[in-house]
Chain A
């Protein structure tokens, strides 16, 4: 039996041995309802934002895009229509995937670990980061673990890829285990205010948010927005959050959205979730 036949037989045997539980549909319904319910929890949201965010999200979840004439549509805040808040399809086809090095610079990195070290110190502002080994995901991408200091249990998984330029590595994003961002998704097109949904666990429940356009960094200098919200605390489980962040008018087509948490000891950044985002041309 050749390898293809062996593989086919093995995956079919394994798959056929799996029988999902009978309550799958009920579980899905429950998850959808809980997702909506999550937005109704006033303690998760800034009180001043709660009403506006809930209206936007309920409208986004409940209404078809072409549902004209319903009562809810007239309640939707004009500046925060769900269509204007986020979409998953990037509208800027040629937008670089790179969060780092910054767009418009001539820097390039042949060594992915050197790239991540530069990303950690210059973009995130971590003074003494520890950079792990490259774990290859495929021929042109992989991930590298980043810790704020030796022996730290806080891990940011930095996603790296080889860009169009041969042998040049770029950072395409980063994921912190304690900062899970469900929405917006990477390469979403976002407008102000952007609605953030996910789960978090942080010291004193404080999650920092930065909205950056190309050329800006978390570490220093200007940003379209730098703020914070109250997410999950320091317990064992991640807690859901939902919040809305207003940011200044961008002039560049792309940028990054960064969630981060700070050290309880000295306030320095210890982990970050970073996604690449696009800004609609109408906003610029």
Chain B
């Protein structure tokens, strides 16, 4: 009998090799610690594995994976926001780990803080475009929205980012 891992294992390994690192890095732009980013991406791979037979077009698996990562990151941020309201803790919005903090310059820290303060869709559109260099069509497929909406969210996100950085200056 097959084990659970044997369904689509070779292809899943290929997906892992091709996308795991970049997706953890993408998640780290949205979340504030590497451990959570890894967990979100690992959960996304589990979701892809579970849905393997339903994703009949193999070329769509990467988009499904990215979408699962963004959904997981969004869900984690929301739970975190609720928890902070109930149990106030020091704001970690700009508090990346000491390890990462040492590596990211103050200028970058300001930009990332501004990015993380944007509404979900705007933040995700900007991260997908400026980190993964995805096209509008690929971003639309990942987020399940139209290319026109991608354009709108990207434009508004960039305008809000610019305004936030001007206020910080």
Seen from chain A, the residues whose Cβ lies within 8 Å of a Cβ on chain B are 3-4, 6-21, 24-25, 27-29, 31-33, 35-36, 60-65, 71-72, 87-89, 136-139, 143, 145, 153, 155, 157, 175, 177, 183
Contacts and interface: CB of A to CB of B under 8 A. Distances in A.
Interface in B1-60: 1-7, 13, 16, 20-22, 24-26, 28-29, 34, 37-38, 41-43, 45-46, 49-51, 53-54
Contacts of A88: 51, 54
Contacts of A63: 7
Contact of B46 (A7, A32, A157): A32
Nearest to B52: A64
A281 B70 CA distance: 32
Nearest to A132: B85
B45 A11 contact: no
Interface secondary structure of A, over-half rule? helix
B136 to A, nearest CB: 15
A133 to B, nearest CB: 11
B28 A15 contact: yes
Closest 6 CB pairs of A and B: A10-B111, A15-B25, A17-B103, A10-B108, A138-B121, A20-B24
Contacts of A33: 3-5
Contacts of A139: 152, 156
A20 B103 contact: no
B24 A28 contact: no
B86 A61 contact: no
Given A10-B108, A29-B5, A62-B7, A35 B50 contact: yes
Contact of B111 (A6, A19, A29): A6
Contact of A24 (B20, B85, B156): B20
A175 B120 CA distance: 17
B161 A11 contact: no
A22 B54 CA distance: 30
How would you classify the secondary structure of chain B's contact residues: helix, strand, loop or mixed? helix
Contacts of A3: 158, 161-162, 165
16 contacts: A7-B111, A7-B126, A9-B111, A13-B105, A14-B96, A17-B103, A18-B100, A24-B38, A28-B46, A32-B46, A32-B49, A64-B7, A89-B54, A155-B86, A175-B75, A177-B79
Query: Max chain A CB contacts within 10 Å: which of B20, B51, B111, B161?
Result: B111
A27 B38 contact: yes
Interface of B: 1-7, 13, 16, 20-22, 24-26, 28-29, 34, 37-38, 41-43, 45-46, 49-51, 53-54, 75, 78-79, 82-83, 85-86, 96, 99-100, 103-105, 107-108, 111-112, 115, 119-122, 126-127, 130-131, 152-153, 156, 158, 161-162, 165
Given A14-B96, A15-B26, 4 more contacts: A11-B29, A62-B3, A138-B121, A183-B50
Given A7-B161, A88-B54, A138 B153 contact: yes
A27 B7 contact: no
Given A4-B158, A62-B4, A137-B120, A14 B112 contact: yes
Contacts of B29: 11, 14-15
A232 to B, nearest CB: 16
A138 B153 CA distance: 8
B1 A62 contact: yes
Max count, chain A CB within 10 A of own CB: residue among B37, B96, B108: B108
Contacts of B49: 28, 32
A7 B115 contact: yes
A6 B7 contact: no
B1 A4 contact: no
Contacts of B127: 11
Contacts of A155: 82, 85-86
